[in-house]
Every structure is written in structure tokens, then in C-alpha cells.
Structure 1
């Protein structure tokens, strides 16, 4: 592990919060993102916790009290209807030798809010009764999302013609580069999922229903989209303090 080398390969029992946090600070100053550093802390903690649970070590996790770095929440990017059309036009205009799966994977993500990897892993047995079932999910939980009859038929016909989906994220990124769409760094892979969620809320969707569709374990994660709800915007005016007299 790189961290072990940076700390001169100490015995696991001798790793101290002070040494870890000094290394983290140095890496942060060198340009490593806070999110990456938090992920690393999670992984290291998990190793210690597992060893302790299996009675392989007798000491407690030395990093148990180290707090993750506080992340600045960034605004999630999503596509407008015009941008969706532009993206699909670019995909459809590509040469005949282009990835045949790209358009349909994009449509699945837009129709269900699936993560890119979840859509790529779909297979014929995942589609039945006008619904898709995602089994290889981030949190390990299986979830089912309804789809239109047209989507179901197109998926099944596509697999008969072209076989199972293959890795297409590279083709997606190249297609995005050919559009006028500009996204913050790191959001390309999730922009379709954010687009589904954003339009769902703007069209009057329920936040708890969206939580189930997206497969979030906690509604607090889904609440990132709550501000897009029309009810939310209306109530901001209706339920706030009365200010009419101040504009007279």
C-alpha cells in the first residue's frame, strides 16, 4: 500500500491518528481531493474493523476517532430536454461502426435513473412485466423500476440482434465531447441519473418514491433533488413570512 510506504511501513498496531493525519494533510496539499482522502480513510478503517471482528487483532481501530474531511456539496448537473435531444442526435449520427449499445444504455439511464454500471449489467432475465430489475447495485440491494412497453420491447429486440451490453462509458464520454454540453469534472458518468431525478421532481414526483427508484439507503441523499420540486418552490412563497406590506 502506498500509504504504508509513505509512513515507512509501520506495524499495523503502531499506526497512530497523528501520523495518519499528517500524511493526509500532505496529500491534500499536493492536490488529492478530499473525497478521495475520505474514501481511503473508509477503506483503512474497514480493514482494521474486519481484522478485529475476526479476532485476528486484539486492539481497537486506531483510526476510529479520525473524522472524515468535510466535503463542500456541489450542485448536481442535469440535462434539459434540448440537451437530451442534442446528445441523442450526436449518438445517432455517428458512423455505422460505432458502439451499437450506446443509445439504448443512455435511454435506460434516462428512463430509470440507473447508474451507468447498473444499466450496462442488464440482461434479458432482468426485464419482465414492463419493469427492469437491477441486481448489481452499489449498495447490494435489488430494486425494480417500471418501464414503458416500448422500452421493454426495444431492449429484448436489441439483445436478440446485438447480444448483451458491453462497456460503453468511453463511447458515451466521446459523444458528450461532440455536443455543446459542459459538465463539471467528474459528473459525466452520473449526469443521466441526475437528469432523471431532476425531471422527476420538477414534474411533481414524490421524494420518497424517488428514493426507492434510485435505491438510496437514506432519504437524506435523495433530498439533494427536493429543491427542484414545484411544491417545494410554491411553499417557499406560501409558507414564508408575509412580506407584502414591505413592497407597497
Structure 2
């Protein structure tokens, strides 16, 4: 017996008499309304019945139920509660984010949800979300004046939520997977030449308490969070190496780096000399660089309150971000003959593509690449 049935609702007949322009009487009767009822038994024993006024809507609903049934027969999973994106986001944030993601990552998800995703798509059931909704969200963020880079970040958060909705069994298929990112302009690689490094260090040696921190960063390529989170238990003078396994964030010290993996950095002579000097004068704090009371340096303040003013006072024409000290290290490493693949390990990049932004500085690397084609 088919689970799609045509019902004819019997409506009371009524007659209306009218007079035509020719004087003849005419009568009209109301037509019977058609409806289409879907009656479907789900694999868990539940029965789903719904009535539609259009046959196409009934057939689409029936097809969806069949897909859900087949999924259960194939995988043993059945679609969970029919929820809106707003309702699912509460479940998702508690189960997939809270306590499992870094505080900074969780804050990014919360910002995307509250400011962009939920205001646009929150009331829509997640099973209906598709490419058209993605475009609607993207346009909304663009109209707020955000750059393509920022738009892509929020859209990536939205796609992550939808991926997890599929994994958690709330939708059959993530229909926004594969939605393309906006093209974004790559930032120019900014770094100091040797003269600029010399000018800055000559000034800070006598005028900035963070001089040793700058020297260490320029000689190791550490990220700001990694150098601020460096503790003495990770400095091994016997093996002459530093173990990078922690990072200081706005929410405190974290036992992992941005890449999620520990790495080992050999000390050059300048790095070893700086660390030995600091070790002899350490005040009992576990941190290599700390305030006078032994607490870690204020992570948020170093770039704007200390590093940038020192550049201005040193009368440098090229004012850079603290992270550009890492670019300075990497750029000179390559220009002095270092391998791109070795640099990848030193910087802690998971993908070689990230390190390839320095490839154009490696003359030998580029020369070898050119030799692959010759006509």
C-alpha cells in the first residue's frame, strides 16, 4: 500500500445564483479541495504522517524520509531532533567547543555566532541550510565592512559548525561543504635588513628592558606567545637546545604551541650567551622573561607599548610588528643558505606551503627550480 495518498476533503456545497447580462440565471458550486497525505513508518517504529496541498511537496517530504530510513539501514544512525541552527549552536558549543578548544578559539566561535551567523541564519532549521544561505551570510558580513580575510574566517567557523552537525547526526549531509573562500590579498613579507636590526638592537641595549627578548626572538624565530611562555625547564644547556612546547596567551600559559606539536631548537652562540646571562641572574621565576615579581610578561602590551615605541625612538623608517621579527629570522635564514625544509621544522609549520613564502629569497632553491624546464 502506498504511503502517499490523495485525500479529497468534502466541503459543503453551496449554490450562488447570479443574473447574466442577458438576463439568464446561472449557478456555481464550490470545487472539492485536493490534499496529499504522507504516511511513513520509520525504522525505529515511529510513524510520520503529514498532509500537503501540493503533490510535489508531499513527494519531496516522502523522499527525505526514505533517505533517512536508508541511512539508518546502512549506518545504524538516525537523524536526531529537527532543530534550528540557533538551537543546535547551544548543543554544539557545549559538546564540541567548551573545554575542548583553546579559549581564543572558543572566543572566535562565540563572536562569529553572536555577531553574524545567528542574526542571519539562527531561525532556520539546519537541515535546510545550503549554498544560498552561505551566500546570504557572506554578503551580510561583507556589508559590515569586513575584509575578505575576516569574512573567510567567519565563514570557516560556519562551515565547521555544519561539519560537526553532520558528524553528530543532526543532518544527513553538510550542503555548504566546498563553499569557496573569497580571494584575499596576501600580506607583503615584511622584515628588517641587517642594518635595521643593528640599529634597533644598539638602541634597545641601553634603553629597553626587553632587549634580551628581542635578541632571542631574532635568533630563534619564536612567536610572541612562545617566547613569553618559555620556562627554564625547557632550556637544556647540556644538549644546547630549547624545547618549544608551551605558549602564553591572553588566558594564561598553555601546554601546547600554535601548531600543536613540540619542536627542538638548537642554540646559536648569541642565543646561548643571552640565556646563560639570564639564568645566572634569575630571580626564582619559572619564566625566562618575567616582570620584577616573577609573573609572566603582559602578552597583550608588548607590541604596542614596548616594541613599537622603541622602534620610533630608535628612528627607524620601517616600523614593523613583533611577528615580523619571526619573518626577519626566517628571511635571513634562507638568504644565508638555509634549507626551506629545515626552516619548516624550526618554525614549527605543519605544512611546507606555509614556509614557501620565503622560497623566493633562496637563490639556490629558485635556480634549481628553473633547471627543470629547458627548451
After TM superposition, the score normalised by the length of structure 2 is: 0.55
> Which residue pairs with 2:265 in the alignment?
145
Which range is displaced more, 83-92 or 195-204?
83-92
CA-CA distance at 1:138 after TM superposition: 1.0
| C-alpha distance in structure 2 between counterparts of 1:93 and 1:68, whole Å | 47
Q: 2:303–2:321: 8 Å Cα contact kept in structure 1?
A: no
> Which residue pairs with 1:213 in the alignment?
346
| Correspondences of 1:1-248 after superposition (within 5 Å) | 1-7=114-120, 9-11=122-124, 13=126, 14-55=128-169, 57-94=170-207, 100=209, 102-128=210-236, 129-135=239-245, 136-148=256-268, 149-157=272-280, 159-160=282-283, 162=292, 163=294, 165-166=296-297, 167=299, 168-170=302-304, 171-178=306-313, 179-183=315-319, 188-232=321-365, 235=368
CA-CA distance at 1:20 after TM superposition: 2.7
Residues 9 and 158 from structure 1, CA distance in 2 versus in 1: closer, same or farther, beyond 3 angstroms?
Answer: farther
* CA root-mean-square deviation: 2.7
| C-alpha distance in structure 2 between counterparts of 1:5 and 1:33, whole Å | 20
For structure 1, the residue ranges without an aligned partner over 5 or more in a row are: 243-248
Deviations 1:112-138 (A, max 9, x none): 111111111101111113211111311
Q: 1:133–1:144: 8 Å Cα contact kept in structure 2?
A: yes
Which range is displaced more, 59-68 or 193-202?
59-68
Residues 240 and 9 from structure 1, CA distance in 2 versus in 1: closer, same or farther, beyond 3 angstroms?
Answer: closer
After TM superposition, where is structure 1 displaced by more than 4 Å over at least 4 residues in a row? 233-242
- Indicate the SS of the match to 2:322: helix
Deviations 1:67-125 (A, max 9, x none): 1122222321111111112222343343xxx6x3x222222221111111111110111
The structure whose residues are more often helix, as a share, is 1
CA-CA distance at 1:8 after TM superposition: 6.0
Q: Select the structure with the greater relative contact order (CA < 8 A; seq sep ≥ 6).
A: 1
CA-CA distance at 1:158 after TM superposition: 5.3
For structure 2, the residue ranges without an aligned partner over 5 or more in a row are: 1-113, 246-255, 285-291
- The number of residues matched between the two structures is 233
- Indicate the SS of the match to 1:71: coil
Q: 1:4–1:10: 8 Å Cα contact kept in structure 2?
A: no
| C-alpha distance in structure 1 between counterparts of 2:308 and 2:281, whole Å | 22
- Indicate the SS of the match to 1:119: helix
| C-alpha distance in structure 2 between counterparts of 1:37 and 1:158, whole Å | 47
Q: 1:123–1:164: 8 Å Cα contact kept in structure 2?
A: no
After TM superposition, the score normalised by the length of structure 1 is: 0.80
